Structures are given as C-alpha cells and as structure tokens.
Chain A
Amino acid sequence: MFNDRPIQDIESGISHLGLQQDSSAQPWIPPWKDITQFLDEATQDMDEGQLIHLQSFTLFDAMTAIEVMDPRMDTGMILPENERIEFDIHQSLDPKQALWIMDRLLNCEMAWLSGHSLAQTVYTSIYFHHIPELLDQPPPTPPTATLAQTMQAVVKAYILTTVRCCRYIWTEMSSGNVYEEEDFTTNLFGLSLYEDIIMDMDVFNDLRCALRLLTDAMEKEANAEWAETLTALQERLTVREAFLKALMYLSQPRCSHIKQAETALKQILKLPLSGLGSGLPVPGAFDPNINRKLTTQAPPRPVTLPSDMDAYTEFIQLIQRLDNICNVTTYPSVASLMNYFAHFAGSKPYPDALSRSKLNSLFFADGHVFGRTPVHRFLIDSIMDISNPPPQWFQADQVDNEAPLMTMANANLRQFLDQQAALPFMDFFKVQCHNRARQRRLLCKVLNDWEMLQNEAHDIDLQFHDAEALNETPLYHLSQWVYMMKLTIMERILLLGFELELYGQHEFTTIYWYHWYVQSVLSNYHQHMHQQDDKDEYGQYNRALNGAKRDMSLGLFKLILAMEKSQQLKHQTLRFHNAKTQFMHRLKPFVHMTSPPFQPFEQFLQDTNTDHLTTDILLDSAVLDFANARDVLKQLLKAPDTTSRSELCYEANRKELLSMIRVCVANETVVLQLRKKEIQCKMEFKYHPWWATILTSN
C-alpha cells in the first residue's frame, strides 16, 4: 500500500479522533514478563536518591519528562469533569441550539485572536474535525425543507465560512508582522485548515442557500419563539458572509480591493447582532480537551473564553479598526498619516494583533505605500511637509550638462531616498504596528539608523548648496527632516517608558529633564534653521505643540524637585542603588549620539541642585510653565484638522490635547495646597499616560 500523499493523510488522520493502527502492519512483539513484584524487591535494595539509568540519560533529560497523573501536564488524564460525550455532527438541532453553537464559536475565535492556540479555541468544536463529512452533507431542497434540515444547512454554512475566515486570518498572521508566541500562536500543531477542499465560491453558494432556506422558514414558521431566533441566525450568517468577503478583499495584493472590503466592513457595522446569549447549549459540541489528540505534547495552557457580550464587543472593535484602516489608504498627506499611526499605536484598548498586522501589510508591500505610492515619492512628500526644499532638488531624471554639480547632487539625493532613507522611514511606520512594548524596544534599535542618515543628509545638503552657488548659509533641508525624525523617535522612547511603567518614581526627574532637553534642542534648531514662513501653518502648529510639551516637562521637573526637596514626596528607599549607573543605563540609547550631544550625569546633578532655591520659588516657576503650556494647548485645540494634519484622527487628537490641558490645570491647582508643608503628595498618571499629575495623599 504505497501512500503518495503521506503528510496530508497524517494531518487528516490526526484531525480524526483516534489514530488507528493498521493491524496488518503489526510488528512482532515479544512476550511480556511481569516484574511488578521484582521491582518492589529490587528498589528496596536501592539507596535513597540512587538512580538506575542509562549512561546517556542525564538529569536534564529527566527534567523534561512529562509527569503522568499530574493534571497540569498529563493531557490524557481522565478527570471526573471531562467525561467525553460522543457527538454526532449530523444530529438535528433546533434554532436555539444552532444559535448557541454560533455564539460559542465567536467566543473561541476571539480567544484565538487574542493569542491562544487554535487547538484550544476554534478547534475545540467537533465540527472542525469532520469537515469532509460536513461537505458531503446533501443540501436540502428549498420548498420541502424541514426546520431540522434548514438548521443543518445553516450550521454547515456557518462552520465552512468560519474555516475559510480562519484560513485568511492565519495566512495574514503568519506573514511575519507580529511576534510569534507574544502576540499570536501561528503553530497549528498538525491541524488542517482545509484550504484545498473548501473553495470560497462553494462557501458563498452554501451561504446564499442557507439564507434562502432561513427566509422560507421564517415565513412558514408560525411559532413566535422561533421567529426571533431565526432572525438572529439570519443576522449572524449575513455578518459572517460579510466578514469573509472583507478578509478576502483585504488580502488582495497592492490594496487592489480596499473599496470592496470597506463596503463589507460597513455592512457588518450596520447590522448589530440580537439575541446574544439566548442560545441553548449543546452538550458535547465543544471538547476543551481535544488538544490531547494532537502530535505535540505541549501541556495545555489555561484558556478562558470571553463571554458572548465581550466577544461580540471585541469583534466589533476589530471591524471598526479594519474599517478605519481602509479609510486611511487615501491619506491627504504624509504628516496626516504619521499622526494617524501615532494615535493607532497608542489607542486604548490597544489594537488587536490582526488589525496591526493588516495595517502593516497594507501599508508597505512591493516597494509601494498602500499599493499606489512608490517609496521615494512618499519620502519626498514627507520632506516637503517638514522642510520644503526647492522642487528642483528632486528632478533626478533630467541630466543637465550645464550644471554638473546639480545633476550629481540630484542623483545622490535620489540614491539617498531609494536606498538609505527608505527602509528606516518605512520601519518607523511599521514599528508602530507592533505591540506597545515592542514599539519602544524597536525604536531604540532604529535610532542608530537615523544617526547615520543624518551624516549623509548633511553631505547632500552641502552638495546642493555648492551646486546652487548661493552665498547664503546652507539651508540644510534634508538634515532638518532627518533631525526632526530623530528627535521624534527620542521623544517617543523617553515618554513611552511612562506608559509602559518602566521607570521608578525616583527616575521621573531624569526623564522629564532629558525630554525637556530634547524639546529645547528642537525649538532652538527650528529658530536657527527655519525661515519663519507665516504661510507654513503646519510648521507653526508643530512648533507651538513642541513648546507646550517642553514647558510641561519642565514644569513637572521643577514640581517634583520641589516636592522632593521639601520631603512632601517620598520615594521608596533604594538599597543597592547607584544614581550614576542607573542614569547611564536609562539613557543608554542616547549616549553615543553625536547630535544632540549627550547630557552627562554631572550636568544632571548641576541642574537638579536646588540649594540656592526655595521650594516656593520652584513652585511658582512650575506654575508659570504649566500656565504657558495650557494657554498654547488651548489655542491649538481651535486649529482645524488641515492645519494640525489630524484629518485621519481628529477625535483622538482632540482628546489628547484635552487630557494634556487637564494635566496642566490639575498640577497648577494642586500647588496651592502644596505650599502647606505638612501636606504629603503622590504622583499618578490620571489624565495622560505620559505626564504625571501630582495629587495630595491624605
């Protein structure tokens, strides 16, 4: 019996319950000798702690053995609550039972998307292990179909659509945009997603058929109780169909079918599901211990399925995010897109892995942004946003023999854009599609790339300066852009540490101080370099915003210093603490940078020396800083979305500005109480994850 598709059969064999051994291939087994008694006697002769083992068998090997009869490790143990009930997939179900299966399946799907393994979530449904039989189930003929037959067709259609959805989702998640095991488990553990036996066209046909049968049943069915359930089933089938369509369209290369995907997603959002949680449980339809049939002996992880309501809420949030993502594929400017990504990366609740992976895949593939814009064009648009160089810098196509310097500068710029700046710039966007903690780690890594880019940008700026032969000082358009990006990354690294709860409270002054330094560098640089162009509203907006952030950090720095000085803010006593070591460790990503020059520990000590200042002076100064910031932020709130380039994230941007204003106001007002020396205080991130609010603690 020669098997020419061994892998496939193994997979399908495993998916079927119970691996049958072929009796004709039975090897000859020698007779067994009962040594139970002998073992008792022999082990009594052994010493305590003595092991009888093979030479090659080490203690390390012994450690990796799975202990049998330990419920946490032994996946085959028969626990009293796990009595296996045989489930017949062809059994007839009533509408409420069908509803329960669908809702339970959605819970499993959401659990899978949040990171649990497929075997312990979606594939706990027995139906998924009998897909070929399900496919062979004959479709009922519409006029004469009984309710039971209709339910069979409905459940079959739903299950098959879900399998296809899982296939699309799994393909997306395996494309390398998320961290394996951290964000998602791509390991299928031998399970099959049946990609070669289920075709999308057939699935859509089955869905259409099932929907028609449901409509017929609803007309025929006089029972009012069933009527609601049948409507609920119809909604679920429609939503499931739209979901499959959306996934299909979103997975097309180069964003070719985004419009169609958007239509399908909006359809889901317009159809809220009724009757959540009103289904009737079907015993045996889901077996949480089915993973013990699989090839791997990985001990099962504890999985709690979300409730019906929670799962549905998560699902709708996912659909909403995907809809937003479709919307931003037509972005008005690169700066707008950068703002969108920044808000997406930090939105609460944090985006799920599927949306993040999708945004990543759609954003950059095949040398193009969102399937349309070539990378160098995207870069040029960004540079124009920030530093507005003369357009002739970018004309790399025309070779002008009269101006060889210009031609060479153009060529070098083109090379810079295509080869050197392209990847770091794309990475900046892609980093924001990772989970929040990874974002900070990755930004620390990419910072070095921008350091190198700055040197090259500087060279090219000088080349253009020579080529244009103007006697003014060079304008450094390219360097401006690179420097701004670099400082943005530095700011993000510093402030994300607060959100990720990386800093001890005694380190807050260090971070706010360094952030204030970075923002000051940025403000000075702008003043130095930028031709104060009154028409550049976006530039003005940015400068004002950076100024406000600088003042907030400075205000907090002074406020915390004052409270530490007057002993009103107490930190935990640290025992093995060396301030300089911690300082250098905390600011490690910035130590070797040439620009901005690293501020050493000695400078920090100097700046935090408050011997010549009283607490009241510090408090007064802090209040001024917060008042300034607050005024500027209030002005910025009034700016239209085109000025702030927040067209794609208007609401989120407003919310952030408001929360920053709240931080300023709260800190200003608490100072009045803090002037009384006996009041103790504490720090909390009440309004904004990056700027602390001082509160009295009593």
Chain B
Amino acid sequence: MGITEDANRVNTLRSYLNFKSRIEITDGRIFHGTFVCVDKQKNIILAQAEEYRQGKEMDDAFYPVMTSFSTDEKRLVGLIMIPGKHLVKVEVEDLDII
C-alpha cells in the first residue's frame, strides 16, 4: 500500500509537467510559466515564465479566474529556477474541470 501510494504521488507530480503553473514567492512576486522540472528540495524550473509584481495601487478584488493584473507590472523572464525555500504557494492549471 505504502509504495504504490508513493509511486502514485510521484507519478501525479510527473503528470503535471508541461502544465501552466502559477507560483507565488516570499517577496510577493508571482510567476506564470510552464512547469518543466522539479527536485526533492522543491526547486522548480519554469519555462517562458512571466513575472508579475504588484504596483503601488493595490487591487481590491482578486479574482482567481480572471487575472486582474492590469495595474501590476508584468515582464517576460524566460527560463527560471525558483529555489524551494522561497515558495509560498504553488498552483497548477486544473484541467479536471473540462
């Protein structure tokens, strides 16, 4: 039971490869990118990543579906590696709903 469960978890994680991912880090920045690699220390590599940083004006409503990042700064950062120790929240696109 234990080993198959472990194998399933790793496999599920493997199934998330190539999905779009949204990661929030300790200084408040949010990265959108394609999830390509992860290791045991939770160091994550994202491809074609974009960085969102909150501008001076704060947005009141923060809708999870429609990203209201219009007041924030967005820029393309490309291939990045986020060290596991800086992760706050990791999200991946949920295609089960389709």
Contact = CB atoms under 8 A, between A and B. Distances in A.
A47 B53 CA distance: 34
Contacts of A52: 10, 13-14, 17, 37-39
A53 to B, nearest CB: 4
A13 to B, nearest CB: 12
Nearest to B72: A18
Interface string A45-64: 11111111110010001101
Interface in A1-44: 17-21, 23, 26, 29-36, 38-44
B89 A39 contact: no
A65 interface: yes
A297 B66 CA distance: 27
Given A21-B69, A68-B83, A76-B29, A43 B41 contact: yes
A17 B81 CA distance: 25
Contact of A66 (B37, B40, B80, B87): B80
A295 B86 CA distance: 25
B94 A30 contact: yes
A67 interface: yes
Interface in B42-93: 42, 45, 51, 53, 55-56, 64-67, 69-70, 73-84, 86-93
Contacts of A31: 64-65, 93-94, 97
Contacts of A69: 25-27, 82-83, 86
A399 interface: no
Nearest to B67: A29
A32 B22 contact: yes
A26 B66 CA distance: 9
Nearest to B32: A29
Contacts, number: 154
Contact of B97 (A23, A30, A77, A86): A30
Contact of B9 (A23, A42, A297): A42
B64 A40 contact: no
Given A32-B22, A32-B94, A35-B16, A48 B77 contact: no
Contacts of B69: 21
Contact of B74 (A21, A26, A49, A67): A21
A292 interface: yes
Contact of B79 (A21, A29, A64): A64
B39 A46 contact: yes
B48 to A, nearest CB: 12
B40 A48 contact: yes
A167 interface: no
A273 to B, nearest CB: 38
Contacts of B37: 51-54, 57, 62
The size class of the interface chain B forms with chain A is 35 or more
B81 A68 contact: yes
Given A18-B55, A52-B14, A52-B37, A35 B92 contact: yes
Contacts of B16: 35
A78 interface: yes
B41 to A, nearest CB: 7
Instruction: Please indicate which of the listed interface residues B76, B92, B96 has the most CB atoms of chain A within 10 Å of its own CB.
Output: B92
A259 interface: no
Interface residues of A, number: 49
Contacts of B45: 53, 57, 62, 65
A479 B17 CA distance: 72
A537 B13 CA distance: 87
B85 to A, nearest CB: 9
A686 interface: no
A293 interface: yes
B89 A65 contact: no
Contacts of B55: 18
A2 B92 CA distance: 34
Given A43-B40, A69-B27, A19 B82 contact: no
B75 A293 contact: yes
A49 B70 CA distance: 40
Contacts of A42: 9-10, 12-13
A47 B27 contact: no
A45 B78 CA distance: 29
Nearest to A86: B56
Given A69-B83, A76-B29, A76-B53, A35 B9 contact: no
B24 to A, nearest CB: 9
Contact of B66 (A19, A29, A44, A68): A29
B92 A40 contact: no
Contact of B10 (A36, A45, A62): A45
Given A18-B55, A34-B91, A54-B17, A297 B97 contact: no
Contacts of A40: 42
A66 B13 contact: no
Instruction: Please indicate which of the listed interface residues B13, B22, B31 has the most CB atoms of chain A within 10 Å of its own CB.
Output: B13
Contact of A19 (B10, B36, B75, B92): B75
Contacts of A43: 13, 38-42, 84
B51 to A, nearest CB: 5
A50 B39 contact: yes
Nearest to B24: A36
B67 to A, nearest CB: 6
Contacts of A19: 73-75
B13 A39 contact: yes
B93 A33 contact: yes
A66 B76 CA distance: 12
Interface in A291-326: 292-293, 295, 297
Nearest to A56: B36
A52 B41 CA distance: 12
Interface in A161-204: none
Contacts of A46: 10, 39-40
B95 interface: yes
B42 A39 contact: yes
A35 B91 contact: yes
Interface of A: 17-21, 23, 26, 29-36, 38-54, 57, 61-62, 64-69, 76-78, 86, 292-293, 295, 297
Given A67-B80, A297-B77, 7 more contacts: A30-B20, A30-B93, A32-B64, A39-B42, A43-B13, A43-B40, A69-B25
30 contacts: A18-B73, A26-B66, A29-B65, A30-B93, A30-B97, A31-B65, A31-B93, A32-B94, A33-B96, A35-B16, A35-B90, A35-B92, A36-B90, A36-B91, A40-B42, A42-B10, A42-B12, A43-B41, A45-B9, A46-B40, A52-B13, A53-B38, A53-B45, A65-B80, A66-B77, A68-B80, A69-B25, A69-B26, A78-B53, A297-B76
Cβ-closest 5 pairs across A and B: A33-B94, A32-B91, A53-B37, A65-B81, A45-B6
